């Protein structure tokens, strides 16, 4: 769920096989997690999608969000971004 000054929204991810690898969605859930992140950083992370065909997200309790882009061929490496959740005071 997303909430902000301009509105709110909700995104639901469901596993599915696509005709192309970049259309496939796979999920592994060990336990529910709820966290709040600064959208401006996520927007910057998303700009790296032009360099690869897939993204891996990792999220756990008391851990930062992991955004991992594997470059087109495995021998070229990957890029990882970490984002700590917002802390309510």
Residue pair 35/59 in contact by the 8 Å Cβ criterion: yes
pTM (2 d.p.): 0.75
pLDDT digits (tens, 9 = 90+) for 30-70: 888 888 888 889 899 998 888 887 888 999 888 899 999 88
CB atoms < 10 A from the CB of 63, how many?
13
Q: What is the pLDDT of residue 64?
A: 94
Architecture of the domain delimited by 2-83: Roll (3.10)
Q: What is the pLDDT of residue 66?
A: 92
CB-based burial label for 30 (10 Å; 0-12, 13-18, 19+): exposed
Ranges of H-type helices in the chain:
39-46
């Amino acid at each position: 769920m997303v909430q902000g000054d301009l509105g709110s929204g909700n995104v639901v991810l469901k596993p599915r096989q696509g005709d192309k690898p970049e259309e496939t969605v796979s999920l592994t859930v060990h336990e529910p997690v709820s966290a709040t992140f600064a959208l401006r950083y996520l927007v910057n992370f998303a700009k790296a999608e032009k360099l690869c065909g897939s993204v891996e997200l990792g999220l756990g309790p008391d851990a930062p969000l992991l955004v991992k882009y594997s470059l087109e061929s495995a021998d070229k490496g990957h890029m990882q971004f970490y984002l700590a959740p917002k802390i309510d005071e």
